[in-house]
Amino acid sequence: MRSLADLYNTLAPGDARFALFLGIIRYAVATQLVELLAPFFGPAAAGGAKSLTQQQHRTLLQEISAALDAAGLTDEAQQYRIAFLQSLQGADAATLAAASDDAVKAATGYFKAPVVSQKSNLPVLDAVSTPCVPCSRQ
C-alpha cells in the first residue's frame, strides 16, 4: 500500500492519478485494508468536487461507498452514496435511470444507517423520487 501511495504522490493531477486512486481503493477492498484508507476518503471527495470532472467525481463517490460497504462501514458508505445521488440533482432521465441501483441501495440504507440518512435530503433526491421508466412499465 505504501508503494502505491508513493506512486500516487509522484503523479501530477490528472487522469492517471485519478485512475491510480481508484486502483488503490479497489486494492484496499481486495486486501481488506479499507479502514486504513478511509481517513483519506473525505479529503479526496472534497478535493475531487473541485478538481475532477463531474463524471469522475461521481465515479469516485461510487467507489468510496462500495469500498466502505465491503468493509462493513454502513454509515460511512451511506454518506458517500447520498453524496453521489445529490450530485445527480437535475440530471436527465437516462442518467437517473443508470443510477437506479445506487438509489435502491440508498433507500434500503435509510433503515441500515438511519442517523446518516435522516440528516440528509435522501427522500426528495431526483434519483430516489423520480420513477424509473423501465421500472414503471412492469
95 pLDDT higher than 70? yes
Residue 121: the pLDDT is: 76
Residue 57: the pLDDT is: 96
Cβ atoms of 125 and 88 closer than 8 Å: yes
114 pLDDT higher than 90? no
Residue 136: the pLDDT is: 45
**Angle separating helix axes 41-51 and 74-86, nearest 10 degrees:** 10
Question: Mind listing the pLDDT tens digit for each residue in 24-53?
Answer: 999 999 999 999 999 999 999 999 999 999
pLDDT band at residue 129 using 50, 70 and 90 as cut-offs: confident
Residue 131: the pLDDT is: 65
133 pLDDT higher than 60? no
Query: Which residue type occupies 19?
Result: A
67 pLDDT higher than 70? yes
| CA distances, 25 to each of 6, 51, 99, 121 (Å) | 14, 18, 21, 27
pLDDT greater at residue 35 or residue 4:
35
Residue 88: the pLDDT is: 92
Query: Which residue type occupies 20?
Result: L
Q: Which CATH architecture has domain 2-136?
A: Alpha Horseshoe (1.25)
pLDDT greater at residue 113 or residue 57:
57
Look up the pTM and report it. Answer: 0.86
Contacts of 87 (CB under 8 A, 6+ apart): 54, 57, 58, 61
Residue showing cell 471527495: 45
Residue 137: the pLDDT is: 43
